[in-house]
Amino acid sequence: MRKSALLSIGEVAGRTGLAVSAIRYYEEEGLIAPERNAGGRRRFLRSDIRRLSFVMIAQRVGFTIGEIRAQLQKLPDGRTPTKKDWTKISRGFSRDLDARIDTLNRLRDNLDSCIGCGCLSLQRCHLVNPKDEAARDGPGPQFVLRDKN
């Protein structure tokens, strides 16, 4: 096994804990773009490991592959990302996280007064028609819980 600056897909899998098939899939999805050697095999930069780590963490938080791709597109194309590059990405990431945390907090706080109390007199329920979800949810629970019974 030649000790090289570039890593094989197996090595990357070992270091990230990802399945080889997942890594190939991420390439298809444009999250990484490893080079190929003469034989057609993928050769990864060490910085690709960080990239993949970012992918995994972002997924844990609930971002879709599409959203992650959008974030990663802020990174430079050719060269290995620097401190500043990652910091830029981290900003949007944090903002999204804050929003999610806010939503959950509100949800939990309202849970007691809405479901917890049992009355469910939800004219005033904040779980109903939450404005903070970017209205991407279509109809959603707007009409929910209006009933007396």
Partner DNA sequence: CTACTTCCTCAAGTTAACTTGAGGTCAAGA
Partner DNA sequence: TCTTGACCTCAAGTTAACTTGAGGAAGTAG
If the CB atoms of residues 6 and 120 are measured against DNA, the closer one turns out to be 6
Each residue 93-122 as x (binds a second copy by CB under 8 A) or -, in order, gives xx--xx-xx--xx-xx--xx--xxxxxx--
Token code pair at residue 87: 């910091």
7 — phi, psi (to 5°)?
-110, 150
Collapse the DSSP code of 30 into the 3-class scheme (helix H, G, I; strand E, B; otherwise coil) and give the result: coil
CB 89 within 8 A of CB 75: yes
- Partner that binds at residue 30, options DNA, a second copy, none, CB closer than 5 to 8 Å by kind: none
Contact yes or no for 124/93 (Cβ under 8 A): no
Which does residue 40 bind out of DNA, a second copy, none, counting CB within 5 to 8 angstroms by kind? Answer: DNA
36 or 60: whose CB is closer to a second copy? 60
Q: Quick one: CA torsion of 78, 83, 85, 91, rounded to 10 degrees?
A: 160
Residue 64 engages a second copy in binding (rule: CB under 8 A): no
Binding site for DNA (CB under 7 A): 1-2, 8-11, 13, 19-22, 24-26, 37-42, 59, 64-66
